[in-house]
Structure formats: structure tokens, C-alpha cells
Structure 1
């Protein structure tokens, strides 16, 4: 196939090329609804061929799923590092506040993983929705471990907290991620979860 663009392509290794494609896809899917993103445009932005994108990811849905997986991996890796850096005496509230800080940082740099499905619900491949559901269940398990409880009555409180974060971050994104609002979101998220935990008979944060 003859190229129609004239953008010079850098010679990159497979891992670096794949990373460049994922970065370009993340930008595209964060800015444009899934069904309006063209693989050819992603390839051009990454300095790659469309054939190479299909070779690495199989299809547009495969590319999208890979960007969501990368967002999940990025968030969890960052949160593990941040949590490990806290002092041993850190309370569950301290640990949750640190996880919120990392979450807000991640939302601003990899919006496709979090903001995109909230802006366009139902507009992504079912496999990506399934991955998000699995990731949320895993995150709830991490929160239970943080709170040192397996009380099933807290299920509503924990999922409700995640719902609050989704909606708050979407509003934050719509406002252009104003820096002073980080503290507001953090305080309100902690307060919302603390209240819900206490209402369920837990000691709270």
C-alpha cells in the first residue's frame, strides 16, 4: 500500500513502537468518541503504519482494550508505589487519601481509562466494559483489605464511594482540572466514604 502522508517515521524497537501507538490511541480515545476514532489517524500520530497497529492489536476494539488495560495497570502500579512509601503508622484514611491523590494524577494524564466511558456511556466495546467491572471488583477488594474488614454490608458504601469518584472526576474534567479542586474532591470523597461506613455500622475512617 502506498503511503499518502509524508510524515517521517522513526525507527523504533517493537516495545517503543507499541508504547507510542498506545499513547496516540489514548489521546485519540480521550478526545473523540470510540466510533469516531480512525485507526489510520492513530497510526499517523504514532508515526507508524495502520498495518502495524493491526499487527500489534488486531483491531480497533483490541487497540481500545489495550489502552484501558494500560490505564488500569498505570493506576494500580502508581498506587502500590505510593502506598508502600507511606510510614507504617499510616491510617486507612491516610492510605485512602494517598490513593485519591494518585487517582487524580492518573485521570489528568490518561483520561481514556476513566473519563471516556463516563462521557460516552455504552459507546465502547463490551470487552472493555467487562474489564472495568473486573477492575472495580478488584479495587473494592483492595479497599476491604485496607479497612481490614470483610463485612458484606459495606458493599454499598465501597461501590458508592467509587461512584462518587467517577462523577466528581468527570465534573473536574469538564472544568479543566482546576488544581485547587484536588483538595476539595479529596476531602469530600473521604467524608462521603466515612459517613457511609459509619451508617453501615463500621468505625469509619
Structure 2
């Protein structure tokens, strides 16, 4: 019997199996490096035959990329789901979610922000898409426009790099609370935006 013919239900069995594999792989890759996990371990954790992993994902790398893509979409959702809040509330909740996700999915976070398995072009592409959408969401909250002006674009890109680096340091050190890291990031963004405002003022003064 093929996957499309399997029993009735709100979720086809094939989709449920694929989701179970992704969930199990996400848990395992959260705490263990790519090279430290085998297909056999992932299959056992998911409660499926090893062959099903190859059926749905072709290889361990294909499964890992699916986990990373799912992670990237989760991060994008965190930045975009608070559109009815004030910019400050939206930023605070987005950072809370971002830090919680990074803590709960450490290996995937490290992979997304560092470029992945070696230098993997697909993981790097996911990373750039995540950064672009986070930047657009921040710009929308600050200016009402998804495309920031050049000075703000550069400033937000630098701030996102700071947040990623601070998160890596926080996860490695474990000596700060998540709220402390979040509040520090908010204060740093405040300083960044002051610098953007000063730069815009200087540009206006230089205009003929």
C-alpha cells in the first residue's frame, strides 16, 4: 500500500509520519551536532523504520535541511506575529521568543547563525532569508515600511549581528537570565536608533 492510500483521518498517515520524523530530528539536533547523530538513532526516536527517513528526505542532510527550514520559519513567525502591539512591546516579545527558541534549539540556532554543516549553501540561504525577514519586521514596527532606508538597514543589520553574538555568548556562559539578555538587547537597539537619528540629522544639515 502506498502512502496516499493509507487509512482515513484528519491527517494522512504519510504526513503524520513525516511530521514525527521532523519532530524527533528537531529534538535530537537541538542538543547534538550533525555528525554525532545517525539515521538509526533518529528512526528509533521517531518510531519509524530507517527506510522512511530516506523515503521522505532522501538523506540525513536532507532531513537536517528540513529541520533547519522549519526552524527558520519558526523564527520568522516570532518576528511577525505581534503586529497589533506597540513597537516596544513587539520588540520585547520578539526577543523573548527568539531567546527562548535559541535556548530550546541550540544546535539548530548555531547552525543557522554560523553557516551550517561546513559551508552549506542552502543553510546560508535560509540564514539570509531569516535575517531579511527579521529586518523587514523590525523596520515595519519602527517606520511603518518593510524596506528600511539605507542608514537604518545598516544599523539593524549590525544590531541583529549583536543579538546573535550575545545569544551565543549567553548560551555558552549560562550566567545571565534570559530577561537580562533581552533587556540589554533592547537598550543597545535604543542606542543604535539614536545614532541613526543623529546621522539623519547630520545629513539634513549637509543638504544644500
Into which bin does the TM-score normalised by the smaller protein fall? 0.7 to 0.9
* Residue 57 of structure 1: aligned partner: 57
Q: Post-superposition shift, 1:37?
A: 2.5
Among 142, 145, 153, the residue aligned to 2:137: 142
1: distance between equivalents of 2:68 and 2:119?
11
Q: Structure 1 CA distance, aligned partners of 2:78 and 2:195? A: 31
Match of 1:123, SS state, is: coil
Q: CA 1:119–1:137 in 2, change beyond 3 Å: closer, same or farther?
A: closer
In structure 2, what is the equivalent of residue 72 of structure 1? 72
CA distance in 1, matches of 2:163, 2:107: 16
Structure 2 residue corresponding to 1:128, chosen from 117, 123, 128: 123
Which residue of 2 is the match for residue 14 of structure 1?
A: 14
State the structure with more CA Rg. Answer: 2
Match of 1:158 in 2: 156
Hey, what's the Cα distance between the residues in 1 that align with 2:120 and 2:51? 21
Asked if 1 retains the 8 angstrom alpha-carbon contact of 2:75 and 2:130, the reply is no
C-alpha deviation, 1:127, in angstroms: 0.8
Q: Which has the higher contact order (CA 8 A, sep 6+)?
A: 1
Distance 1:119 1:144 in 2: 24
Which has a greater percent of helix?
Answer: 2
- Runs of 4+ aligned structure 1 residues displaced above 6 Å come to none
CA offsets, 1:35-70, max 9 Å, x none? Answer: 333222211211112210111112222111111111
- Closer/same/farther in 2, CA of residues 24 and 125 from structure 1, 3 Å limit: farther
Q: Does 1:113 align with 2:111?
A: no
Structure 1 SS opposite 2:75: helix
Which residue does the alignment assign to 1:5? none
Q: Which whole-Å CA distance do the structure 2 matches of 1:202 and 1:139 have between them?
A: 24
In structure 1, the gaps of 5 or more residues are: 1-11
Aligned-residue RMSD, C-alpha: 2.6
Take 1:79 and 1:151, find their aligned partners in 2: how far apart are those partners? 19
